[in-house]
Amino acid sequence: MQETSVITLKESALINNIQFLKKKLGKHVKISSVVKANAYGHGIEQMVPMLEKAGINHFSVFNFDEAQRVCSSLTKKSTVVIMGYISKEHLREAIDKNFEFFVFNLGRLEVALEEARNLGKPAKIHLEVETGMNRTGLNMSELIEAIDVIKMQPEHFQVRGFCTHLAGAESVSNHVRIQKQMKRYRQMSAILEKNDITPRYRHVANSAAAFVYPAARLDLVRIGIMQYGFWSSAETFIHFINHKKNHTDPLHRILGWESKVMSIKLIKTGEFVGYGNHFLAQQDTLTALVPVGYATGYSRSLSNKGRVLIRGRSCNVIGVVNMNMVVVDISAIPEAKIGDQVVIIGRQGDAEINVSAFSDISNALNYEVLSRLPLNIERRVIPAE
Ligand SMILES: *Cc1c(COP(=O)(O)O)cnc(C)c1O
């Protein structure tokens, strides 16, 4: 474990977000909590028990390994769905462990059939159809073949879901494409129905689609980014807030990231700081060294641009971000001491650095900044009262 910084997780914020989502989506729409990519960097092992406590009992991940991690973090009998990769070797284990999984091509359906037969246990599948994202999913003729396979050996399958993924509901520029996808989905769904296959859940929506296109909620929504307290895009937030009197953000951020001042140094006018000549002190400059760098999650693209909070004040990163360290300007805080808390993401006093500020500077998405937070930083839960 890295001990130079810690990621904090505010349980009260998570409870707030889940309550908000449940209220807005209504009790007839099931929420599947998307915890792929280490729960968007928050930590699967910490988030899953908190999510269960907050009333979630359905989880979606990308691959088999994540499913295993979710499974060993469960405190209840929740459902785990693998939306993406499972190696051929792990498919049997996936069935054996009661994991549900997407079937997005006929090859996977064949392997699932074979393993289900070997195990004497049905494969719990979600048929994923291609509706226009052109990434994964069965096209119309493949769907018809899949239906034949399932109807010939119904004892080996439980059709838990019928789904697709909408391409870019977070931007209005995709509106026409999404309408086409919905239409295609309904056509394919009708074919399933005609063949008397009734999936437990029909689902197409991620966070953005669930809020921008209420008709896309169907039986279940796959909510990732919003449960962590972020809107999918500025546009999605504006869409939501537009007709409301109250313009405060109903979502709360869960994650904070902090470190400590490692050392302090006064740089004389005319001296360069760090490697090369990226920063020249124009005046005497008091600097603090913070022990996070690009090897520990602080992107090199924040060189000379990033900010951190010390004693409630914003301090600029000066020079290039090193592998394990970054230098910040603390000239305005002469009282700073070694060991002072450094906030990289989150609040300190009245000041705040949020992930979006962080990502604006480095031109990354919230999604990217979060999911790239290293696994080996300690996640510390701040329990709700
Ligand atoms: C990641 C993912 C989601 C969740 O998306 P958010 O925008 O984070 O809500 C939903 N569905 C699929 C298939 C995904 O891969």
In one-letter notation, the amino acid at residue 54 is A
With tokens 């499972």, the residue in question is: 86
Q: Specify whether 289 is located in the same domain as 332.
A: yes
Q: Specify whether 270 is located in the same domain as 310.
A: yes
Q: Print the domain residue range for 95.
A: 11-241
- Looking at 184, 214, 241, the residue that finishes a domain is 241
Enter the tokens of residue 228: 């962590």
Predicted TM-score (pTM) of the model is: 0.95
- With a CB cutoff of 8 Å and minimum separation 6, the contacts of 275 are 319, 320, 322
Are 199 and 159 in contact by the 8 Å Cβ rule? The answer is: yes
Q: What's the angle, vertex CA 183, arms to CA 177 and CA 189, rounded to 5?
A: 135
Residue 268 DSSP symbol? P
- 206 Cα to the center of ligand 1, angstroms: 5
Q: What's the rounded Cα separation, in Å, for the pair 378 and 375?
A: 8
> Does residue 360 fall inside a structural domain?
no
| 225 CA closest ligand 1 atom index | 8
pLDDT at 312: 96
pLDDT at 218: 97
> Does residue 374 fall inside a structural domain?
no
Note every long-range contact of 149-153, with CB atoms under 8 Å and residues 24 or more positions apart, other chains counting. Answer: 149/106, 149/109, 149/110, 149/113, 150/109, 150/197, 151/195, 151/197, 153/113, 153/117
Q: What's the rounded Cα separation, in Å, for the pair 144 and 322?
A: 55
Q: Specify whether 235 is located in the same domain as 271.
A: no
> What CATH number is given to the structural domain containing 346?
2.40.37.10
> What CATH number is given to the structural domain containing 179?
3.20.20.10
Probe residue for ligand 1, chosen from 38, 60, 127, 226 as the CB with the greatest number of ligand atoms within 8 Å: 60
pLDDT at 362: 64
Q: Specify whether 100 is located in the same domain as 182.
A: yes
**For 201, what's the count of Cα atoms within 13 Å in the CB-facing half-sphere?**
28
Q: Specify whether 177 is located in the same domain as 131.
A: yes
Q: Specify whether 90 is located in the same domain as 201.
A: yes
Enter the tokens of residue 147: 């239906």
pLDDT at 356: 76
In the chain, DSSP finds a helix count (H) and a strand count (E) of 12, 18
Q: Specify whether 119 is located in the same domain as 234.
A: yes
Measuring from atom 1 of ligand 1, which residue has the nearest CA? 224
> Does residue 294 fall inside a structural domain?
yes
| 165 CA closest ligand 1 atom index | 13
Q: Specify whether 226 is located in the same domain as 261.
A: no
Enter the tokens of residue 154: 């119904």
> Does residue 347 fall inside a structural domain?
yes
Count how many residues are written for the chain: 385
> Does residue 2 fall inside a structural domain?
no
> Does residue 379 fall inside a structural domain?
no
Q: The dihedral of CA 373, 379, 380, 385: what is its sign?
A: positive
Is 323 annotated as belonging to a binding site? Answer: yes
Q: Specify whether 182 is located in the same domain as 300.
A: no
Q: Where does residue 105 fall: left (phi above 0), alpha (psi -120 to 50 degrees), or beta otherwise?
A: beta
Q: What's the rounded Cα separation, in Å, for the pair 11 and 252?
A: 10
> Does residue 369 fall inside a structural domain?
no
pLDDT at 274: 83
Instruction: Give which of 346, 199, 253 is closest to 40, Cα–Cα.
Output: 253
pLDDT at 234: 87
Q: Specify whether 195 is located in the same domain as 289.
A: no
pLDDT tens for the chain, 385 residues: list them.
888 999 999 999 999 999 999 999 999 999 999 999 999 999 999 999 999 999 999 999 999 999 999 999 999 999 999 999 999 999 999 999 999 999 999 999 999 999 999 999 999 999 999 999 999 999 999 999 999 999 999 999 999 999 999 988 888 889 999 999 999 999 999 999 999 999 999 999 999 999 999 999 999 999 999 999 999 988 899 999 988 888 899 999 999 999 999 999 999 999 988 888 888 999 999 999 999 999 999 999 999 999 999 999 999 999 999 999 999 999 999 999 999 999 999 999 999 998 877 776 666 688 988 999 999 999 999 999 8
- Looking at 213, 241, 269, the residue that finishes a domain is 241
Q: Specify whether 120 is located in the same domain as 227.
A: yes
Probe residue for ligand 1, chosen from 34, 130, 135, 355 as the CB with the greatest number of ligand atoms within 8 Å: 34
Q: What's the rounded Cα separation, in Å, for the pair 170 and 151?
A: 37
Q: Report the catalytic residues.
A: 36, 275
Q: Specify whether 200 is located in the same domain as 287.
A: no
Q: Which residues line ligand 1 (CB under 6 A)?
A: 34, 36, 83, 165, 206-208, 222-225, 232
- Looking at 241, 270, 290, the residue that finishes a domain is 241
pLDDT at 361: 67
In one-letter notation, the amino acid at residue 147 is I
pLDDT at 170: 86
pLDDT at 168: 86
Is 135 annotated as belonging to a binding site? Answer: yes
Are 91 and 121 in contact by the 8 Å Cβ rule? The answer is: no
- 32 Cα to the center of ligand 1, angstroms: 10
Q: Domains in the chain: how many in total?
A: 2
φ/ψ (deg, to 5) at 187: -65, -45
Instruction: Give which of 352, 340, 252, 248 is closest to 291, Cα–Cα.
Output: 340
> Does residue 383 fall inside a structural domain?
no
Q: How do the residues of the chain divide into helix, strand and coil, expressed in percent and rounded to 5? A: 35, 25, 35
